[in-house]
Amino acid sequence: MRHISTFAVAILAPAALTAGPALGEEYSTEKVEVVTSIVAEGLDHPWGLDFLPDDTAIVTERSGTLRLVGADGTLSDPVEGVPKVFARGQGGLLDVAVAKDFAQSGRILFTFSEPGPGGAGTAIASARLVRDGSAARLEDVQVLFSMPKKTAKGQHFGSRIVLHPDGTVFFTTGDRGDGPRAQDMADAAGAVLRINTDGSIPRDNPYASGQGGALPQIWSKGHRNPQGFAIDALGRLWTVEHGAQGGDEVNNPQAGKNYGWPQISYGQDYGGGQIGVGSAAPGFEQPVHYWDPSIAPSGLVVYEGEMFPEWKGDLIAGALKFQLLSRLDRDDSGAITGEERMFEGEFGRIRDVNVAPDGSLWLLTDEDDGKIVRVGRKE
């Protein structure tokens, strides 16, 4: 059984309180002085972001728009060719990842709530990004996987992407607001899934042969709604996922393991009451860390940039409910040893966290007037 860490947290205090982030706003953290600035604003609930080889950023808006962000913060017109999305509730155009061979292939991957018979389900697609001056479009859009069972519920799509060094693609799905689906091995809901870049099944997936009726794309099951997903320097996967009333979790998804939802949880059901059989049961993995009360964690990175060596290897997660960044200290074994909460209430709901090529952090705020906020080192 892995260690579950709980501890007191340090709250970061801003150097000066303002109504929101401003150019050159300075903050003191436990280990380093930082400065924040707005890269771009006026986005409609931005959800995912990644960087092209020329340092241009590509960002999704949940309503179904994909845009490019120049180094000067200029937003492009909407990229053409994005497939129709189920833009309802938590659904829409969600995460985006630039293929590791983009310089040769020009391809990106993205997740979205795909409409279909019965409602919608999480899907992942690949496309070639074609840029023509200031305009851009998607060509050769290929849906690599689509959740077979679609429902009208508007919540819990999961939907983060990790591109593994071995060339495979990992992505998360939520339980779609129907907990038992996370324990159904024939269902794609409530899972970490793994495919090849062409949508085929990796031969070393734990259920590659479909034994016992299990979906061959499954890597791990028993996840509620993992909206943060990252990989560390040793190739270990990390998720942050929403609990119900409390019980938000950090997990280290491993092949063929089950993380318990909704049979075990450190949270309570909405309105009170125990979830499942309690917080532990045979056959289910324990979280590496959990939050109670809930912070509603979203985007996640393992920091490996050069700008903040003080944070090397730490997990940094955004939070929607408490509107903060949670930096989780890790030791050499990967165990979480402490937490620092940064920028609470300063920027709004933080939907995603990204490490830019220069090592700065880029945050997305999930608002009608969504922003990209850069966190850099104070000179």
CA dihedral sign of residues 276, 281, 283, 284 = positive
Beta bridge partners of 31: none
* Candidate list 156, 223, 242, 289, residue with the active-site label: 156
d(CA 255, CA 359): 31
Query: Which residues, other chains included, contact 219 with Cβ-Cβ below 8 Å and sequence gap of 6+?
Result: 170, 191, 192, 193, 194, 205, 206, 253, 255, 256
8 Å CB contact between 315 and 253: no
d(CA 121, CA 132): 32
- Strands 237-241, 169-173: pairing kind: unpaired
Angle subtended at Cα 58 by Cα 56 and Cα 64, rounded to the nearest 5 degrees: 155
Residue 143: phi, psi to the nearest 5? -75, 115
Cis before 293 (ω within 30)? yes
Beta bridge partners of 348: none
Spell out the long-range contacts of 265-268 with Cβ–Cβ below 8 A and sequence spacing 24 or more.
265/224, 266/290, 266/292, 267/243, 267/292, 267/294, 268/244
- Strands 161-163, 107-116: pairing kind: unpaired
User: SS3 letters for 118-186?
Assistant: CEEEEEEEEEEEEEECCEEEEEEEEEEEECCCCECCCCCCCCCEEECCCCCEEEEECCCCCHHHHHCCC
User: Residue 23: helix, strand or coil by DSSP?
Assistant: coil
Question: Catalytic residue at 223?
Answer: no
8 Å CB contact between 167 and 157: no
Number of Cβ within a 10 Å radius of residue 348: 20
Residues with a catalytic annotation lie at 156
